[in-house]
Amino acid sequence: MKVYDIELHSNLMLGTAQYPSLAHLTGAIRASGCAVVTVSLRRETADGTGAGFWDMLRQTGARVLPNTAGCHSVQEAVTTARMAREVFETDWIKLEVIGHADSLQPDVFGLVEAAGILAADGFQVFPYTTDDLVVGEKLLAAGCEVLMPWGAPIGSGQGLRNPDALRTMRAHFAGVPLIVDAGLGRPSDAAAAMELGMDGVLLNSAVANAGDPVAMARAMALAVQAGRAGFLADPMERRDMAVPSTPVLGLAELM
């Protein structure tokens, strides 16, 4: 997967929140083989844990993608992004501008505005967005070079609620990296996203809230690899009727 001219060795990105312990998080990152981990500025500066958490991330070798999780306005998101750039020393930012408190659906109007401000300020923006084509076009026009459509509401584990919309996005944005972000709960969800031709998936709750986060991280990594390989293999089209796999010509005739 290539994003903002950076070649990544994995199609999987992993969030770092909600894990039972730093040991579980470290094990999950390593088991997943992910190239990128997302980090909230609030998590990094949490009381008494920031330094150890940051040291642990450095040791994994994963690239850090700060995010603006929990921001509900353009000003809040832009300010948080600029603070994150200072703390994490990167121009990458996963941009979230939340518009609905219950569904955590993005405020797409604020998202486009904030993306334009940050792109003009030198950020390389990864926008958490819906699966709407018009919003995607406006985000690209604002300076984004990657789109991160949701599969389902954050933390819901519902999987892909609208695979047809994601399939349409893939066809419409043929040359744009698409990373499904939010809502995936099982390895089959990750495989399904990759089979649609997505460039990657970002997971957090599905791994962190599993009974065994490390085992789930490993399973997700395998699912992403299988889904990507399946997409590249050009799977057969679905058929309305059965088609025999054994030739009917040459069958013995019983007299």
One of 24, 43, 85, 94 is an active-site residue; which one? 94
What is the gyration radius of the CA atoms in the chain, in angstroms?
Answer: 20
Whole-angstrom CA distances from 176 to 136, 137, 164, 241 are 10, 11, 18, 35
Query: CB–CB of 80/87 below 8 Å?
Result: no
Q: Is residue 182 annotated as involved in ligand binding? A: yes
Residue among 101, 118, 125 nearest 179 (CA): 125
Q: Does the annotation count 94 as an active-site position?
A: yes
Q: Is residue 99 annotated as involved in ligand binding? A: no
Q: Is residue 116 annotated as involved in ligand binding? A: no
Q: Is residue 205 annotated as involved in ligand binding? A: yes
CA distance 202 to 252: 55
CA distance 130 to 118: 19
Q: Is residue 67 annotated as involved in ligand binding? A: no
Q: Which residues of 101-130 are buried (b: 16+ CB within 10 A; e: fewer)?
A: eeebbbbbebbbbbbbbbbeeebbbbbbbb
Q: Dihedrals φ, ψ of 15, to 5°?
A: -80, 165
Give, rounded to a whole angstrom, the gap between the first and last alpha carbons of the chain.
61
Catalytic residues: 94
Residues making up the annotated binding site for 1-deoxy-D-xylulose 5-phosphate are 155, 182-183, 204-205
